[in-house]
Homo-oligomer: A and B are copies of this chain.
Amino acid sequence: MKKVAVRNAFYAQSGGVSAVINASACGVIETALRSKHIGKVYAGRDGIIGALTEDLIDVGRESGATIRGLKHTPGGAFGSARFKLKGIEQNRTEYERLIEVFRAHDIGYFFYNGGNDSMDTALKVSQLGAALGFPITCVGVPKTVDNDLPHTDCCPGFGSVAKYVAVSTREAALDVASMARTSTKVFVLEVMGRHAGWIAAAGGLAGNGPSEPPHLILFPEVPFERERFLARVREAVDDCGYCVVVVSEGAAYADGKFLAEAGTRDAFGHTQLGGVGPVVANMVREAHGYKYHWAVADYLQRSARHIASRVDVEQAYAVGKAAVELAVRGVNAVMPTIVRKAHRPYRWSIGHVPLAEVANKEKKLPPDYIREDGFGITAACRRYLEPLVAGESYPPYRNGLPDYVRLRAVPVRRKLKGNFKV
């Protein structure tokens, strides 16, 4: 009988969290705990910082029910971090420290759940580990609500934000439509996506064509032209009685200046108080005098597990599971991807791509997803988006509120002396 080499696994969450990043954690952990190649499963407290500071959580000390519950719990249960490791040339110390901690805890598998930056980090860890004579299998687990990772049909986290934005736009539009005759005529919803318009595009699912809300979408990919926009708002109000606008936080003028920077100041003249939502709403009021309302969904959109897309939850779990399966097969420095096999009925499978191919790259909304007038989505975009928001995956409720799990988060005993300052 062949002896199986058993090593421990480390999992960490990175960057902005989502409604389903914990579903990926669940996929990684359940699969790792079952694997005969993997001994202990550890997680970094507050992401990679937990690894640097040797602050590890012993995942095996959580109950099976808690681990299962991660699948329906939003946010980053282990803590995430906005902490980008510098290039190896600039800060070799951090990478060496990671390897030191991994060596101390016999960690042979590194699962890093994040976006573009994180894939870069995972790649570097795998390279440096080999160079330092401590081979470690590094697999990225894709996560970003921005949907801007290349080589994957979509990114876990996006489908649920998309569903939230589409549902919210449809609901708020019904509200505005009911009251437009005597009250609010223009409603502006600000959504996330600083560099790519994927989330804004999802607002387009709320209606069917330019006569249904949202009447106008402002994408980061389309340079904002004030007069053209204001004319279209007036047109919508004249034709439909009201106008619903979905605006991406990344909407910008042709010179690259964000709309959000363009105006808001507090009474003391400090800038950057408001977001783009109020800026756009105010622009409409000044030009046309319409009564307006605006909403800024902010974190509500990316934490809204209560209205998560079932497809998204399933894909988030699947990439976590696949990451472990790839790793124990010895496939190193890759990221599982979602492969679309058919639009309708929607069929997908899991593929994988070298980390080097995804690290630090960004996927924008393709031009043929944006309507010719620049204010809406095309049929191709709708065909792409629709399957990603399909299905509901309701969390359990207790006393009227979602019953989200909380970890015991038992720390692993430290083996190294001294503290590492991050």
Q: Is the beta-carbon distance between B300 and A172 smaller than 8 angstroms?
A: yes
Once A172-B299, A300-B168 are accepted as A-B contacts, the answer to whether A206 and B401 lie under 8 Å apart by CB is yes
Query: In the complex, what residues of B have CB within 8 A of residue A278's CB?
Result: 264, 273-275, 278
Q: Which of B73, B79, B176, B394 contacts A392 (CB 8 A)?
A: B394
A147 adjacent to chain B (CB < 8 Å): no
Asked if residues B296 and A401 are in contact (CB atoms below 8 Å), the reply is no
Q: Binary interface profile of A, 388-421, with partner B (CB < 8 Å = 1, else 0)?
A: 1111101001011110100000000000000000
Which residues 271-305 of A have a CB within 8 angstroms of B? 273-275, 277-279, 282, 286, 293-300, 302-305
Q: How large is the interface on A (under 10, 10 to 19, 20 to 34, 35 or more residues)?
A: 35 or more
> A300, B171: Cβ atoms under 8 Å?
yes
- The quantity of this chain's copies bound in the complex is 2
In the complex, are the beta carbons of A298 and B299 less than 8 A apart? no
Q: Which of A130-138, A181-189, A349-357 contacts B (4 or more CB under 8 A)?
A: A181-189
Q: A74-B175, A75-B171, A278-B273 are in contact. Are A294 and B298 (CB under 8 A)?
A: yes
In the complex, what distance in Å separates the CA atom of A270 from the CA atom of B380? 42
From B83, B170, B175, B268, A401 is in contact (CB under 8 Å) with: B170
Closest residue of chain B to A386 (Cβ to Cβ) is B399
Judge whether B400 and A74 touch: CB under 8 Å.
no
B299 contacts A296, C-beta separation under 8 Å:
no
Q: In chain B, what residue has the closest Cβ to A18?
A: B175
- Interchain Cβ contacts under 8 Å between A and B, 7 examples: A73-B174, A75-B178, A167-B306, A167-B401, A264-B273, A264-B278, A297-B300
